Structure 1
Amino acid sequence: MGVDRDYDDNLSSPNRDEKSMRPLLDTSKSPDLNNNSKFDDTHQVTILTPRASSSVNDKYFINYIVMMLFGVGCLLPWNVFINAIPYFVDYKLNTTALNETSTYRTDFGFYITNLGQLTNVIMNLVNIFISFGGNPKNRIPYTLLLCSGVILFHIGLAVIDSSEWPVLFFYQVCASVIVMFISTGIMNSSVFYLSSIFPSEYINAIILGNNVAGCFIAIASILSKKITDSLRLAAIYYFLAAFIAVMLAFVGYFVMHRTKFYKHCMKLDEEKKRLSSIQSSSSAQKPVPYLKLIKKAGLHLFCIWLNFFSTLAVFPVFQLGIARHSPDFIIGQEMYIDVVIFLTFNFLVLFGNMLPKIIRIPGPKWIPVPVIIRALAVFILFPISNYRPDLDHRIPILITNDYIYWAMCFISPLLFGYFTSLLMMYTPNLVEDEYKGTVSMIAALTIAIGVATGLQFTKILELIVLK
């Protein structure tokens, strides 16, 4: 549908009267400008002017797809690293220059996971509290280029023979993980900041993209075992796929900037912020009231943290120790981990992310209740499953039925994905328009902290369960 030319002229005029903008931005008369409820189902912006109204559609869902690509670009490189651990440990570091009990091999996953997550939390903090490079959205293409450079570096390392210098190779990998998380950490919070100008469901597109990356890697892991026995070749394919995904996100960034939908969302967001500044009777730039924002959105931010903390405390490390009990279970031992743990988790989280398109229950007020109940259920049920049955337990094994455990593996990620989407859509709307981008970035930081603390808690959970 066409766009009213007078609207463009009004927006571009430096001398427009404040009163002439009130019909455009009067959120009391047009609540959709405040909560974006119309956007969620139609992918269009309804623009009100003193004389007319018009709509701008997200043609072919280009902006929504680009936000999904950003989500893929944020998480796929890290998923590739995790999935390629056998390549690093059993191929690159499996040389005569290192013995089998070397810490470089036995603790490789621990080192890169903690390095990566610590860097991720720090860079999310930096991106929120330190101003550099102007608007956070402008940092996205540079972070994508940096991330793609790291991936190309690893494709090069896979090609060359490093058997004579495994220790140097290990430290090169650690350094590259830090650089990669510098890029994806900044990109992650910048993308969430950008999403605040769009309808609320566009923030969910990022979460969807995150989980599309997980699904891709889960399928790739299964296919690679069927197609080739070469760890080196499989790793090259993984890294190449990640490079293509990052480059698609890079191209998508510039395509998005050329769409009418993006341009009008940007203009509308700027005018809403401008009016909010006028109504606050302060023309000078105010410092961001971080404590006030955290107080307003504190309960929802806590729920975001708890949702990720409870999930990452058991997935994937703790669940890798939950063994198949019956030899007659429908999934064989060879595919048990790939299907029951990784494939089930990633696809059910993805499906949970899609559910808010159909239903959004509970609302912002009551969402903390089911989030807390789910977290409690996770910490009660998974520790009593068939975890490391060969060892002595403090907590008895009560769930030995493989189908009951698999049902738990269905329900937990489904609710996790659903609650994540709801929380990420609800939380920015708890504050004023001018601070929605900042709160979106704080929510992204909360996710990073939830992931990092959840992974660390896995060791504590193991100490609680085992003697």
Structure 2
Amino acid sequence: MSNKVPNSINSSYGPPAFTHEFASEDEENDEQSTTVGLLPKHPSVPLAVRYSPEDSYGLVYIIFFLMGIGSLLPWNFFITAKHYWLYKLSNSTHSSDDKDQRSNLSDYFESYLVIASTVPSVLCLILNYLLVNRLSANVRILTSLGVILAVFAVTTVLVKVDVSDSRMEFFFGTLASAAVVSGASNLFSASVFGISGHFPMRISQALISGQAMGGTLSATASILDLAVTEDVTDSALAYFLTADFFILLCIITYLLLPKLAYSRHYMLAATCTSAPVQSEGTAGRSSVPPLQPILRKTWILGLSVFYVFCISLMVFPALSSGIQSVHTDSGSRWTTTYFVPLTSFLLFNFADFCGRQSTVWLQVPGPTSRVLPTLVLCRSILVPLFMFCNYQPRDHLHTVLFQHDAYPIIFNCMLGLSNGYLGTLPMIYGPKVVPRELTEATGVVMSFFLTLGLAVGSAFSALIVHSI
């Protein structure tokens, strides 16, 4: 199957030398498509915005990379702080024999956390699609970052608060915080991804690679905190303060974005594209973007994104973080303290980052190839592979086929690399295979498929954990 990019792909997909050739082909194809009746025709982009300035010192690339870190870092900080949540949800501050409550609250906490954080995200992305032409991207991005910073500030304060007598309240409060943070993060991520669609593909790749780096940073911070101090609360305090710093950094760098000539150029081009739509009044800019022409171009890419992240969330983190070293009885810090943070969180996120970053140099298979969805379906084998590792506790499925610590390491590498590569390709292809005026809305639609995959995968992860 040929991987040749169809002529309808917008100009920012192709090499710079062929920008105008793609643009003229877009206009011819758009006139023949059904989108003519849904979208007003727009004049050619003014000469002033046809020639792109250079991204001096790669500052715009760096800013979008930081935006990518900030979009997934809050959620990753929540799920990676496993030792802290186990401490808070047990009677660690008092001597206790309340084993049952710890089992109910902490043993399945990660499954509940993933469900609570992904299901509301689907609703937030629907809201984002409805607001994409009603609220500016600046309002959506800065508001969501402000909400995330406020929730993390409260979470940081609670680190030093004794909740041993109100564990249930803390449990539900944490789930509510995760839901708010995840919803705001997805609103932020979809809005930034929509903006990146107006830029060349390298900027979209910077954003997606930054998302993987957010998970790597959170896992690294967790391990460093465990190594520096043995006190759980001191470790968690430094951990969440790190998250506060990065969220604040995202706000500052985003405010710098309009001051750079490179970003102003592409935002001006985007404004020129949508300007005639705005002039239509309530029937134009204030209307909801047409969904049918977007889905017609991107439904296979969207389903690929959905299934990639559905499989990943079935396994990570609820199942993968429950896999213990087969040498736990030795009592070494490697098997008792560092095995899960290193093999589950850090290894998966680093492999995910490598998979995403590799799309900068390799973009195969192409957006129209049937090989891409075939490879996505092949990832299904990863679920039983993880189930038959040394996951503990095991109440129903007692068979452990992979009785060596090397197996979860290999499987996490496979999970992360395939998630990064196969999840990134359709995400960057999606906004490039639609007319330019639908770029931002398509970014939101692709983010919706991603988040829907997270939500469905998280629901199945809870069933898998209970079945084991």
- Tell me the TM-score normalized by structure 1: 0.80
- Preserved contact between residue 71 and residue 189 of structure 2 (Cα < 8 Å): yes
3-state DSSP class of the match of 1:313?
A: helix
**How far apart are the structure 2 equivalents of 1:68 and 1:39?**
25
Alignment of 1:3-22 (within 5 A): none
> 2:11 aligned to 33, 37, 48, which one?
33
- Assess, with a 3 A threshold, how the Cα gap between structure 1 residues 371 and 287 changes in structure 2: closer, same or farther: same
Q: Which runs of 5+ in 1 are unaligned?
A: 1-26, 41-46
**How far apart are the structure 1 equivalents of 2:13 and 2:139?**
25
- Assess, with a 3 A threshold, how the Cα gap between structure 1 residues 411 and 150 changes in structure 2: closer, same or farther: same
3-state DSSP class of the match of 2:53?
A: strand
1:375 is the counterpart of 2:379: yes
Q: How much does 1:324 deviate?
A: 3.8
Q: How much does 1:153 deviate?
A: 1.4
Q: How much does 1:237 deviate?
A: 0.8
1:432 is the counterpart of 2:429: no
1:218 is the counterpart of 2:196: no
Q: How much does 1:243 deviate?
A: 0.7
> 1:62 aligned to 59, 62, 80, which one?
59
> 2:79 aligned to 82, 90, 97, which one?
82
Aligned twin of 2:121: 120
Q: How much does 1:147 deviate?
A: 1.2
**How far apart are the structure 2 equivalents of 1:388 and 1:166?**
23
Greater RCO (CA < 8 Å, at least 6 residues apart): 2
Q: How much does 1:137 deviate?
A: 3.9
Alignment of 1:73-152 (within 5 A): 73-91=70-88, 94=91, 99-102=98-101, 103-105=104-106, 107-130=108-131, 134-152=135-153
Q: How much does 1:117 deviate?
A: 1.6
Q: Deviations over 1:184-230 (max 9, x none)?
A: 23212111111111112222222222211211122122222221111
Alignment of 1:150-299 (within 5 A): 150-273=151-274, 287-299=288-300
- Assess, with a 3 A threshold, how the Cα gap between structure 1 residues 389 and 250 changes in structure 2: closer, same or farther: closer
Q: How many residues align?
A: 428
Q: How much does 1:260 deviate?
A: 0.6
- Preserved contact between residue 48 and residue 54 of structure 1 (Cα < 8 Å): no
TM-align CA RMSD: 3.6
**How far apart are the structure 1 equivalents of 2:270 and 2:382?**
40
- Preserved contact between residue 39 and residue 200 of structure 1 (Cα < 8 Å): no
Q: How much does 1:441 deviate?
A: 0.6
> 2:335 aligned to 333, 336, 352, which one?
333
**How far apart are the structure 1 equivalents of 2:143 and 2:193?**
16
Which segment is superposed worse, 357-366 or 166-175? 166-175
**How far apart are the structure 2 equivalents of 1:181 and 1:459?**
18
- Preserved contact between residue 389 and residue 407 of structure 2 (Cα < 8 Å): no
| Letter matched to residue 437 of structure 1 | E
**How far apart are the structure 1 equivalents of 2:48 and 2:194?**
32
Q: How much does 1:313 deviate?
A: 1.0
- Assess, with a 3 A threshold, how the Cα gap between structure 1 residues 119 and 257 changes in structure 2: closer, same or farther: same
Which segment is superposed worse, 134-143 or 242-251? 134-143
Aligned twin of 2:418: 415
Give aligned-pair identity as a percent.
23
- Tell me the TM-score normalized by structure 2: 0.80
1:444 is the counterpart of 2:447: yes
Q: How much does 1:326 deviate?
A: 7.0
**How far apart are the structure 2 equivalents of 1:393 and 1:105?**
20
Q: Deviations over 1:60-107 (max 9, x none)?
A: 221221112222222222222223343244246525699442345555
Q: How much does 1:322 deviate?
A: 3.6
- Preserved contact between residue 127 and residue 136 of structure 1 (Cα < 8 Å): no
Q: Deviations over 1:425-450 (max 9, x none)?
A: 11112211111111111111111111
3-state DSSP class of the match of 1:33?
A: coil
Q: How much does 1:126 deviate?
A: 1.0
- Preserved contact between residue 313 and residue 457 of structure 2 (Cα < 8 Å): yes
| Letter matched to residue 243 of structure 2 | A
Q: Deviations over 1:281-317 (max 9, x none)?
A: xx95565221332232111100001110111111222
Which segment is superposed worse, 128-137 or 199-208? 128-137
- Preserved contact between residue 366 and residue 372 of structure 2 (Cα < 8 Å): no
**How far apart are the structure 2 equivalents of 1:404 and 1:166?**
35
Which segment is superposed worse, 421-430 or 286-295? 286-295
- Assess, with a 3 A threshold, how the Cα gap between structure 1 residues 199 and 157 changes in structure 2: closer, same or farther: same
Q: How much does 1:142 deviate?
A: 1.8
Q: How much does 1:157 deviate?
A: 1.9
- Preserved contact between residue 77 and residue 242 of structure 1 (Cα < 8 Å): yes
- Preserved contact between residue 39 and residue 199 of structure 1 (Cα < 8 Å): no
Q: Which runs of 5+ in 2 are unaligned?
A: 1-5, 19-43
3-state DSSP class of the match of 2:363?
A: coil
Aligned twin of 1:460: 463
- Assess, with a 3 A threshold, how the Cα gap between structure 1 residues 93 and 442 changes in structure 2: closer, same or farther: same
3-state DSSP class of the match of 1:134?
A: coil
Structure whose alpha-carbon radius of gyration is higher: 1
**How far apart are the structure 2 equivalents of 1:199 and 1:361?**
18
1:355 is the counterpart of 2:337: no
**How far apart are the structure 2 equivalents of 1:108 and 1:316?**
11
Which segment is superposed worse, 293-302 or 219-228? 219-228
Q: How much does 1:248 deviate?
A: 0.7
